[in-house]
Amino acid sequence: MSDLCGKVALVTGASRGIGREIALTLSSLGATVVINYSGSKERAQEVLDTIKANEKEAAIYQCNVSDPDAVQAMMQYVVDTYGKIDILVNNAGITKDNLLMKMSEDEFNQVMDVNLKGTFHTCKSVIRQMIRQRSGRIVNMASVVGIIGNAGQVNYSASKAGIIGLTKSLAREVASRNITVNAVAPGFIKTDMTSELPTKVVDEMLNAIPMKRQGMPQDIANAVSFLVSEEAGYITGQVLEVNGGMNM
């Protein structure tokens, strides 16, 4: 895989889990990485310190992607600081799981606001800059449940299915400007969130995976790294499933 030296990347939700691994991996390939976070500054600072310890350039920026004005300010910061933005990885996301009959409108709206509308806000804020540059890579984080569904996750599944539609539509709009837009759909990945699941639920999930194991954050980071590389320059509007065969 070609290196990313000279590239500027923004990764949302990059203070923990999959986002953290994506930020570290892109940095290891030479990219300057802006680490977006909305919660713990301590976690974001730890990612920054790790990158700096490897003598790479990076920065942190606090912003809730559900706030369009804050997102616009973040994009302006990136462009003002580094002169461009080559890579956008939309990883920020939340869950508010519940059965539909018990799900509140607020639970539905919160997930849609961060996951789907957050992706809309970031893409809209960056796309003019990428069109001016006549180049760019956007990778949106979908999910296997946005393709096959999952009981108790009507809101989350709907948001991720929406991201897939957004990805394909935007890819058609900007393909002629040398901008690619793709999605990665993780399956059952080992993170802080999944580590809190009951053993019975974990066993049921593993039984549904042909490879009979959880994926790791690095598996997702590797997929993202490929999609933002020069080698993937003729790939756009695609959903790369990284799920151990859950949706074969």
- Position 1 scores a pLDDT of 57
What token pair was written down for 217?
A: 């954050």
- Position 123 scores a pLDDT of 98
Q: How far apart are CA 178 and CA 66, in angstroms?
A: 27
Q: Please answer whether residues 243 and 188 qualify as being in contact, where contact means their C-beta atoms are separated by less than 8 angstroms.
A: yes
Residue 40's closest CA among 19, 22, 24? 19
End-to-end CA distance of the chain: 26
Phi-psi region of 137 (alpha: psi -120 to 50; beta: other; left: phi over 0): beta
What token pair was written down for 159?
A: 């948001």
- Position 199 scores a pLDDT of 85
- Position 193 scores a pLDDT of 73
Q: What does DSSP assign to residue 176?
A: G
- Position 198 scores a pLDDT of 76
Active site residues: 156
CB atoms near residue 96 (< 10 Å): 17
CB atoms near residue 218 (< 10 Å): 16
- Position 192 scores a pLDDT of 80
Query: 93 to each of 52, 53, 126, 176, 230, how far by Cα in Å?
Result: 26, 28, 19, 29, 27
- Phi then psi dihedrals of residue 112, to 5 deg: -65, -40
- Position 191 scores a pLDDT of 87
Largest CA distance in the chain: 51
Residue 167's closest CA among 123, 219, 206, 131? 123
Q: How far apart are CA 48 and CA 137, in angstroms?
A: 22
Please identify every stretch of the chain with a pLDDT value under 50, giving residue numbers as ranges. none
Helix axes 154-174, 117-133, angle to 10 degrees: 20
